[in-house]
Amino acid sequence: MEATTFGDVWQEAFSVQTPPPTWLVIAVGVAALIVVVVRGPWRVARNVVTIAHEGGHAVVALLSGRQLTGIRLHSDTSGVTVSRGKPRGPGMILTVAAGYITPSIVGLLAILLLVNNRITALLWMSILVLAAMLLLIRNVYGVVSVVGTGAVVFLVSWFTPAEIQAAFAYFFTWFLLLAGIRPVFELQAQRSRQPSPQSDADQLHRLTGLPGVVWVLFFGVVNVAVTATGIWLLMF
């Protein structure tokens, strides 16, 4: 980014950029799919999914009138968002249900910026969201994870040419869009191997009476539908 004053930065961040060629959009989409599918890269990249997952819990908790206590992110890519309020009711149900569908939904929202060629705006809005989330983090690993992710986005947005920014923004968006599906399969596999009353699906079972597997199916259907919509918007 060549801007030097705040006004220049603001104007450049929200200006319209030249869209990348279709081959590049497809290429970074394939790269994102590889990261999601291959175990090694996925174990590292899944930390970003956890940030989005817990961020979803946090945003919906606030919107439903609950009081946020804090967020903890762990090195095994699990996380916990703690909020205060009624232990039952629509607000609690929505808060718990938000986590697994948030990454794909964030990816779809990012696509709405990309199809309008607001590439730099997407990167800077991501930094602002991560900065806001950082205020709620309550453990060291969580701070490192959020700061590290934000630092990568900042370095790309500030020091790289427009072509690299576009490739990164589309890769980041593809990844979030596609990465929402795999954790749902992991959730059900974990529930089959070692049932946990603390999983989102099982918490929702206690809150609503619907079986946990119904909630797993709900997460999967929503994420597949959102992903299909995002692919259509990107490619057609």
Q: Which pLDDT tens digit goes with each residue over 73-93?
A: 999 999 999 999 999 999 999
pLDDT per residue as tens digits for the range 175-226 = 999 999 999 999 999 999 887 788 999 999 999 999 999 999 999 999 999 9
Q: Percent of the chain, pLDDT > 70? A: 94
pLDDT at 189: 94
Rounded CA-CA distance 112/109 in Å is 5
Cα dihedral value 168, 172, 177, 179, nearest 10: 130
Confidence (pTM): 0.93
Read off φ and ψ for residue 194, nearest 5 degrees: -145, 85
pLDDT at 3: 52
pLDDT surpasses 90 at 32: yes
